[in-house]
Chains A and B, each alone.
Chain A
Amino acid sequence: MKQLLSIKNLFVNVEDKEILKGLNFEVNAGETHVIMGPNGAGKSSLMNAIFGNPKYQKTNGQIVFNDVDITNAKPDEIAKLGVFMSFQNPVSVEGISVFNFIKTAKSKLTNSPINYFDLKDEIDKYVLQLDMREELSKRDLNVGFSGGEKKKAEILQMLCLNPKLAILDETDSGLDVDAIKVVSKGVEMFKNDQNAVLIITHSSRILEHLKVDKVHILLNGKIVKTGDASLVDFVEKNGYAGFEGEN
């Protein structure tokens, strides 16, 4: 199986506070991974570190994506290699519609002009599948979107940009029961044996339609345990107390 993402001995500081302390894990093509961990454990920080967010300083370790060392790469370079992240808190940007933004991003990622009508058909299709309001793609990017609409708009972007690795940071939180189902189906639709998904979540709902290959528990800045899908249920029942001793 082709290795897509490999993280070795990663140490990350945020504002001089050490958040990640020697973290390791790997994701192969065709796999779906889940990361769980208590609030403030460093899950979002990990995603930001992968994506080269300048606020998250790597003091040690290495991140390789698809055979390219991206430890010190810029976010746009990482995106161009095929990594996508659905943000826990997507930013609003005035004056650019969701449609035009996706068009711009897609042309930047593929380095070629995008046919307007093809993209329109594609977006219309996904908007329908994600049960989004049609006019949403014409509105300014995330401006005035409800919490759930923002999350769906992230998934819409993911589907259109078709990355090799999609990282979903709590895409399910804030979604109603039906919306979680729709998003879960969207991820299922996206998934194939060439790409991979890394899902950060606090609940098992979004995983309903997905075949989960591995579950990692992030605690105290490290992956303290890796297991199969059953680990999710264990966490839901017992919380994280049982992992404190592991290392």
Chain B
Amino acid sequence: MDRKNKDFSGASKNDLDFLQDNQNFYDFKNADDYEYKIKKGLSKEIVEEISKRKNEPDWLLQIRLKALETYFKLDLPQWGPDLSELDMDNISTYVKPKTESKSSWEDVPEDIKNTFTKLGIPKAEHQYLAGVGAQYDSEVVYHSIKEDMLKRGVIYTDIDTAVKEYPELVKEYFSKCVPLSEHKFISLHYAVFSGGSFVYVPKGVKLEMPLQSYFRLNSPESGQFEHTLIIVDEGASLHFIEGCSAPKYSKVNLHAGCVELFVKDNAEMKFSTIENWSKNMLNLNTKKAIVGNNAKLDWVSGSFGSKISMLYPMSILQGDNSSTEYVGISFAGSGQNLDTGFKVLHIGKNTTSNVVSKSISKSGGVATYRSIVNILPSAINAKCSVNCDGLMLDSISKSDTIPVNKIACNDITFSHEAKVGKISEEAIYYLMTRGLTEQDAKAVIVRGFASPISKSFPLEYAVEMNRLIDLELEEAKND
């Protein structure tokens, strides 16, 4: 009998073979060795210097300067985590690594290449990705796309290159989804943004394999402000994966990236993120998508690490019959405040949104699900279903849900379910009587809790997510 073909459910996604001690392999650092690190702080001179070094067209510099002005005018958000410890005078907003962007790993400097090798990027590229971008501090150091993707007209490059090579396309879409003045940190982003990916998938082109960009922040007391701009043209489809990590430093680092997605009529896109920031990181990220007629956009989001995260991807369901899904998990440990969630704006008729959110907190961590569902009068026959669960691993941790629902249309279906609870002692005991240590038992329960999310990731990323969960649980033990 051919044993390989024997059917079995669950595959290895639930396989717990690797329930074992993990070391935090994300936490390794290279020397703070750069070609150029801009002086700390924020000023017109600094913004102009960044723009000049990038040799940018004037229209982009004007956007930066306008954004800077707005940044100084806007207040810190009056809700959510306390951001008062962020002092821009102590952050260097631009750090250029000692290399230009390469299209072969051979040409990437050794220490940087080793960083991405440890993170598994070249291997993933080889095995199942259609293209890869890798950013180190403020600049992309590697970008490559498979030959046949190029032939089909797919563009996948860093933003700086796109500005030069596809100026019309960039100009048409840049900052058109996320406006400069939406909140203080998006203004900051536009003032000093650097790096990120640009993707254009032409009409009708369906990518079978995902593209992945990885963002690594190595430099202490610095910020990363990458801008990802993706256009999936009519009838096309794309799965884009984003990974982020950083080693731990004693002082605050800042991440204020921006993702703008345009999913055109009849197109489909999935945007998956696994972030594992070090616990000195303030992660104030903005992601938004405009979804066309009969188009579909799915967010899959795994938020790990960081000291504070404020991250609420948003879908604008502009087209009729458009749909979106948000599947997200966050894990807040000791000293962490993860404020994450989802925003959706229903404009078109027959639009659908589905949310599954899971948050885990332990050792005094705070995990909050914050959402806005906004259904406009035009969104006749809209459907929205929200399901969020919080799991607290002890009694000193917090889990909360703060939904805001604005429904201005009568002819809709809406459901919202929220559950917050403590991990079951009874379940831990039951699993322990089968030989699992308390730690393993908790890992099984937490992974099970997270499984609706990990199932949404491709296998390799589900495995990584489970490893991150184990890592967090390990740290719980040591706290």
Which residues of A approach B to under 8 Å, CB–CB?
A: 51, 53-55, 74-76, 78-80, 84-85, 87, 90-97, 99-101, 103-105, 107-109, 113, 116-117, 120, 138, 140, 157, 161
| Shortest CB distance B191–A (Å) | 43
Residues of B within 8 Å of A93, CB to CB, are 427, 430-431, 444-445, 448
Assembly CA distance A120 to B7 (angstroms): 10
B437 CB to nearest chain A CB (Å): 5
The answer for the CA separation of A55 and B424 in the assembled complex, in Å, is: 13
Answer whether A108 and B15 are a contact pair too, CB < 8 Å, given A94-B448, A95-B447: no
Report which B residues bind A (CB closer than 8 A).
3, 6, 8-10, 14-17, 19, 424-427, 429-438, 440-441, 444-445, 447-452
Pair A94/B449 contact, Cβ less than 8 Å: yes
Are B433 and A75 in contact, with the CB atoms below 8 A? yes
B19 — nearest CB in chain A belongs to which residue? Answer: A104
Whether the pair A99, B10 counts as a contact (CB closer than 8 A) is yes
Given A96-B444, A100-B14, also A78-B433 (CB < 8 A): yes
Q: Cβ of A105 and Cβ of B9 under 8 Å apart?
A: no
- B438 x A74 contact (CB < 8 A): yes
Among B17, B435, B445, residue most surrounded by chain A Cβ atoms (within 10 Å): B435
Q: In whole angstroms, what is the CA distance A18 to B323 when docked?
A: 59
Interface centre among A53, A93, A97, A140 (most CB of B within 10 A): A93
Contacts of A140 in B (CB 8 A): 448
A138 nearest CB neighbor, chain B only: B9
Report the Cα distance A85→B15, complex, angstroms. 24
Name the CB-closest residue of A to B445.
A93
Task: Report if A101-B430 is in contact (Cβ < 8 Å); known contacts: A96-B14, A138-B9.
Answer: no
A95-B14 contact, Cβ under 8 Å, with A79-B432, A105-B436, A157-B434: yes
Cβ-defined partner of B17 (8 Å) among A51, A95, A113 = A113
Who on chain B is nearest to A161 by CB? B434
Are B16 and A96 touching (Cβ within 8 A)?
A: yes
Report yes or no: A104 in contact with B424, Cβ–Cβ below 8 A: no
A-B contact pairs, 23 of them (CB 8 A): A51-B433, A53-B429, A54-B429, A75-B432, A76-B432, A76-B435, A76-B436, A79-B432, A79-B435, A84-B433, A91-B424, A91-B426, A93-B444, A93-B445, A95-B447, A95-B449, A97-B14, A101-B434, A104-B440, A105-B434, A116-B8, A120-B6, A138-B10
Q: How far is the CA of A163 from the CA of B91 in the complex (A)?
A: 60
List B contacts of A78 (CB < 8 A): 433
Question: Which B residues are in CB contact (< 8 Å) with A108?
Answer: 434-437, 440
Which residues of chain A are near B441, meaning CB under 8 Å? 76
A97 contact from B9, B437, B449, Cβ within 8 A: B9
Residues from chain A with a CB closer than 8 A to the CB of B436 are 76, 104-105, 108
- CA–CA, A80 and B434, complex, Å: 8
Measured CB to CB, the closest approach of chain A to B446, in angstroms, equals 9
Given contacts A91-B424, A91-B427, A94-B449, contact A101 B432 (CB under 8 A): no
The answer to whether B434 touches A79, judged by C-beta atoms less than 8 angstroms apart, is: yes
Interface core residue of B15, B16, B441 (most chain A CB under 10 Å): B16
Once A91-B427, A138-B9 are accepted as A-B contacts, the answer to whether A80 and B435 lie under 8 Å apart by CB is yes
Cα of A65 to Cα of B432 in the assembled complex, Å: 17
Closest chain A CB from B428 CB (angstroms): 9
A203 and B62 CA atoms in complex are apart in Å by 85
Which listed residue (A105, A113, A120, A161) contacts B8, Cβ 8 A?
A: A120
Contact A74 B432 (CB under 8 A): yes
**B430 interface neighbour in A91, A107, A138, Cβ under 8 Å:** A91
B448 to chain A, nearest CB (A): 3
What is the minimal beta-carbon distance from A145 to any residue of chain B, in angstroms?
14
Contact status of A101 and B444, CB under 8 A, knowing A80-B435, A96-B14: yes
A92 — nearest CB in chain B belongs to which residue? B427
A53 to B425: give the CA distance in the assembly, Å: 10
Chain A residues with CB under 8 Å of B450's CB are 95
CA–CA, A231 and B446, complex, Å: 46
Q: Are A104 and B444 in contact (CB under 8 A)?
A: yes
Residues of A within 8 A of B445 (CB): 93
Question: Which residue of chain B lies nearest to A97 when distances are taken between CB atoms in the complex?
Answer: B10
Chain B residue nearest in CB terms to A109: B435
Q: Are A100 and B440 also in contact (CB < 8 A) when A95-B447, A95-B451, A109-B435 are? A: no
B147 to chain A, nearest CB (A): 38
Closest to A142 in B: B430
Q: How far is the CA of A144 from the CA of B447 in the complex (A)?
A: 19
Point out the residues of chain B lying under 8 angstroms from A87, CB to CB.
Answer: 430
Q: Which residues of B contact A120 (CB under 8 A)?
A: 6, 8
Report the separation of the CA atoms of residues A95 and B455 in the bound assembly, to the nearest whole angstrom.
10
Residues of chain B contacted by A103 (CB below 8 angstroms): 15-17
**Chain A residues within 8 Å of B424, by CB:** 91
| Closest-CB distance, B313 to chain A (whole angstroms) | 24
Knowing A113-B17, A117-B6, A138-B10, say if A95 contacts B448 (CB, 8 Å): yes
Measured in the bound complex, the distance between the Cα atoms of B432 and A53 in whole Å is: 10
Known: A75-B429, A93-B431. 12 other contacts (CB 8 A): A51-B433, A79-B432, A85-B433, A87-B430, A92-B427, A93-B445, A95-B14, A97-B9, A99-B9, A101-B434, A108-B435, A138-B10
Residue of A nearest to B3 (CB): A117
Could you tell me the distance between the alpha carbons of A240 and B433 in the complex, rounded to whole angstroms?
A: 31
B427 to A: closest C-beta gap in Å: 5
Would you give the shortest CB distance from A170 to chain B, in whole angstroms?
16
Chain B positions within 8 Å of A55 at CB level: 425
Given contacts A93-B448, A117-B6, contact A100 B15 (CB under 8 A): yes
Within the assembled complex, what's the spacing in Å between the Cα atoms of A85 and B430? 9
